[in-house]
Chain A
Amino acid sequence: MEILMAFLIGILFMAATYLMLSKSLLRIIIGTGLLSHGAHLLILTMGGLKRGAPPLLGEHAATYVDPLPQALILTAIVISFGVTSFFLVLAYRAYQELGTDNMDRLRGKEGHE
């Protein structure tokens, strides 16, 4: 199962890298979304995917899945939500103000406004 997940995460990282290297700002933001998706799945996978009950003590099971990676993912998800929403609004403002979403045209002259 971990092998399968590793391939999936690898594909996500590949797609994210490809998108982030493109010219359009929106494609770049979609790339960051895929990147954080891959990173979160990687935490889950690296914590182990052995069978067990969900981490609720009311289940009275013999084994539970590891609760720590789940807490880490939850933290990482809300952080990346925050950053992504800020980034999206920034892209919107930049589009209004600068009139382009092409990264090549966002270069600006060296040392000038």
Chain B
Amino acid sequence: MNNLIILPILIPLITGVILIFFSKKILAQRWISAISSILTIIAAVLLVNHVYKNGIQTMDVSNWEAPYGITLVSDMLSALLVLTTSVIALAALFYSFKSIGIEREKFYYYPVVNFLLVGVNGAFTTGDIFNLFVFFEVMLMSSYVLMVLGGTKIQLRESIKYILVNVISSALFVIAVAYLYSVVGTLNMAHISVRISEIGNAGIITIIAVLFLIVFGLKGAIFPLYFWLPGSYYAPPAPIMALFGALLTKVGVYSITRTYTLFFYHDAGYTHQLLQILAIMTIIAGVIGAIAYLDIKKIIIYNIIVAVGVILFGVSVLTQESLTGSIFYLIHDMNIKAALFLLVGIIIRITGTSDLDKISGLLHRYPGLGWTFFIAALALAGIPPLSGFAGKLMIVRAGFEVESYVGAGIVLMSSLLVLFSVMKIFIKGFWGAPRAYKGEEDAPVKWLLFGPALLTAFAVLYGVGTEAIYPVISMAAETLANPEIYINAVLKE
């Protein structure tokens, strides 16, 4: 029964391998990947349920005991993130069926998407720092291929930059692991945490902590390291953009959360202060970008950066409440970003442009699309009955509690500007006089709307059912706030 942990990694992996063998049979590709992604969701739901009932689940691969072999660890946080990933993957796949185009589908699109999911689910589940690196590479390699697949000029140009940044950050990851190994002599995350608390407050640990922050910050786009993201995410088509925007940066955010709550909590005065300043700067940089552009893709892309800042601000405060808020917000944000990117994709499919000045009056012809977008936009900003509210409320309250007034105030202000940036799309794009666009007749809007509508419905349920979900999320936050729970579960002393 313990093998349940590995299913969300194994199912996409096997699917990806099988799909390679008949890449030209598109119908079979679609069916198999849809079925496997539903199976992954079922496995993830069972896993969440199992973790909720029985506490943290660990699995020693090949029965080698904890510090010596690779251990897969599923605490509440990773189980929930795996579930969110699977749901987003299903929505993006459904969207791909009618939008990605036969040319891409014939060239291993579905296998690569499945390998991307292997990497993301693996990174959320692993309990070994070098294994985390390997899953990062699985994820990044798939993302390189997805970004360049199709080979248009803008994709080629942006892929070069994206790969270069990630090669450098991967080399830095290897360097950071090498330093950490030379200090603590182990790679298992729980064991590393034990060894670091034995060493206590050494300067070298702080340096390694900052190095890890740089590495994961490059993946997760925090303040001075986000420069690559706006250009790179602009290039690929909508479903790929949704997968990237929802999953890739969040893996970096998850890794920062994991390392800063499990390893480096001893000298929090320095490391978490640094994280807090960077998180605040990230929010500011993100909202400036979000209000500056009149390009719908750019607006949503900069909103990713804002959300990364908000989540990391919650992590840097490091109280039980702020961590609960961060987890609430993390799951909400993965979900709503995927929905928004898919909706933006539909708008671009209808109008053929992403320039807001050339779009108006979509609400007359496409009311379903318009109101879905409206609800998703309100959820993004955190209007009370919807999903973004509870997380931000807890983050802000925790921020005021530790007297970090500037940070909490900026989180509040950022909501307003985020709302402004998405309402700008709604007002300029959906209101006004209707226009005719070339090629809109054959846009399969009803089919495409299914994925984002599912995610938006999920966001509404998540917001309305906050009270019901709260025990699950607070269980995840409890593990983060008390690393002993994690360590005892893994090392079983």
Contacts and interface: CB of A to CB of B under 8 A. Distances in A.
Q: Do A and B come together as binding partners?
A: yes
A94 B156 contact: yes
B174 A83 contact: no
A76 interface: yes
Contact of B171 (A36, A82, A113): A36
B130 interface: yes
B152 to A, nearest CB: 7
Given A20-B168, A79-B137, A25 B178 contact: no
A111 interface: yes
Interface residues of A, number: 36
Interface string A4-43: 0000000000000000100001001000100110111011
A20 B164 contact: yes
A106 interface: yes
Interface residues of B, number: 38
B153 interface: yes
B363 interface: no
20 contacts: A39-B175, A42-B178, A43-B174, A72-B177, A75-B134, A76-B133, A79-B170, A80-B170, A83-B141, A83-B163, A83-B167, A86-B145, A90-B160, A93-B151, A94-B157, A94-B160, A97-B151, A97-B153, A106-B160, A108-B157
A69 interface: yes
Interface in A83-98: 83, 86-87, 90-91, 93-94, 97-98
A14 B160 CA distance: 22
Interface in B142-163: 144-145, 148, 151-154, 156-157, 159-161, 163
A76 B174 contact: yes
B228 interface: no
Contacts of B470: none
Contacts of A111: 234, 293, 295, 298, 354-355
Given A36-B171, A72-B177, A87-B167, A93 B130 contact: no
A82 B141 contact: yes
Interface in B114-128: none
Interface in A22-69: 25, 28, 32, 35-36, 38-40, 42-43, 45-48, 68-69
Contact of B160 (A35, A91, A113): A91
A93 B156 contact: yes
Given A86-B144, A97-B156, A79 B134 contact: yes
Contacts of B144: 83, 86, 90
Contacts of A83: 137, 140-141, 144, 163, 167, 170
A106 B163 CA distance: 14
B54 interface: no
Contacts, number: 101
Contacts of B298: 111
A90 B182 contact: no
B181 interface: yes
A113 B178 contact: no
Contacts of B152: 113
A98 B156 contact: yes
A95 B160 CA distance: 11
A76 B130 CA distance: 10
B167 A35 contact: yes
A75 B130 contact: yes
B400 interface: no
Given A42-B178, A79-B134, A90-B163, 16 more contacts: A28-B164, A32-B168, A32-B171, A43-B174, A43-B178, A46-B182, A69-B181, A72-B130, A83-B140, A83-B141, A83-B163, A86-B144, A93-B151, A94-B157, A111-B354, A113-B154
B167 A32 contact: yes
Given A35-B167, A86-B144, A87-B163, A42 B157 contact: no
B374 interface: no
A41 to B, nearest CB: 9
Interface in B32-55: none
B450 interface: no
Contacts of B160: 25, 87, 90-91, 94, 106
Which of B148, B174, B179, B182 has the largest count of A CB atoms less than 10 A from its CB? B174
Contacts of B168: 20, 32, 35
Contact of B181 (A36, A47, A91): A47
B179 A46 contact: yes
A43 B178 CA distance: 5
Closest 8 A-B residue pairs measured CB to CB? A46-B182, A46-B178, A39-B174, A43-B178, A94-B156, A39-B171, A35-B171, A42-B178
A100 to B, nearest CB: 10
Given A76-B174, A111-B298, A46 B167 contact: no
A25 to B, nearest CB: 7
B243 to A, nearest CB: 19
A72 B153 CA distance: 37
A75 B70 CA distance: 14
Contacts of A46: 178-179, 181-182
A47 B157 contact: no
Given A98-B156, A111-B234, A90 B171 contact: no
